[in-house]
Amino acid sequence: MLTTQQYDKLRQLISPYMTEDKYGLHTICSIYFDTEDDRLIRNSIEKPIYKEKLRLRSYGVPKSDDHEVFLELKKKYKGIVYKRREALTLSAAESYIQSGNIPADSQIFREIDYFRCYYSAYPKIFIAYDRIAMTGTRDTDLRMTFDFKIRCRRDRLELRAGDHGIELLPNGSVLMEIKTPNAMPMWLSSALAQLKCYPVSFSKYGHFYIKELKGEFELCSPIC
């Protein structure tokens, strides 16, 4: 978790080694599925060896029925993340959510449908944020993402309903994630140490859920 000042300095330090992807600053919108009693997020917060979640994701707010979206089944086992993802149109995704009409007969869709039926999972929360993604100039397996203005809502759980919501973190907070299958390069370790950036465990949905239980959102106001 970075402050704006740490983020600005870090971008300077990593500029010789990392480059932004072609999308620049863009908005990611997601709808997370859960059970009636919030079983999936409660299990996730307990940090088990294995956990899984289902979400519907779009890049930007969909403007038409044929806008491409993604159904993602994300699994984490002993710290390693596995994703099962299928692309489909917004209208097909909405039909599946509302009526259970499976868009295509594929192994991934069968896994997604099994998950949804097993848990009786349905849309429970909307989360959006603005992201900058970067890739290593030499090591393309090294990726870093920076998320700004994380916002959430419990109502209007549709991707086409806009990206507004209650801001999750204090103003100026930047969530950074480093993704690499290999050891972290020395230049990156040195930059993080210099700026006193330390790893934390953070889940957007989990953080929202805990703050919601504590009633902290009564003091917050929605942002657009």
Burial of 206 (0-12, 13-18, 19+ CB in 10 A): middle
**Domain 4-223 coded CATH 3.20.100.30:** yes
Residue 220 has pLDDT above 70, yes or no: no
Q: How confident is the model at residue 182 (pLDDT cuts 50, 70, 90)?
A: confident
Query: Which pLDDT belongs to residue 223?
Result: 47
223 Cβ neighbours under 8 A, 6+ residues apart: 149, 151, 164, 165, 166, 167
Query: Which pLDDT belongs to residue 145?
Result: 97
Count the alpha carbons within 13 Å of 145 in the hemisphere toward its beta carbon.
Answer: 13
Q: Which of the residue ranges 69-83, 94-108, 206-220 would you say has the lowest mean pLDDT?
A: 206-220
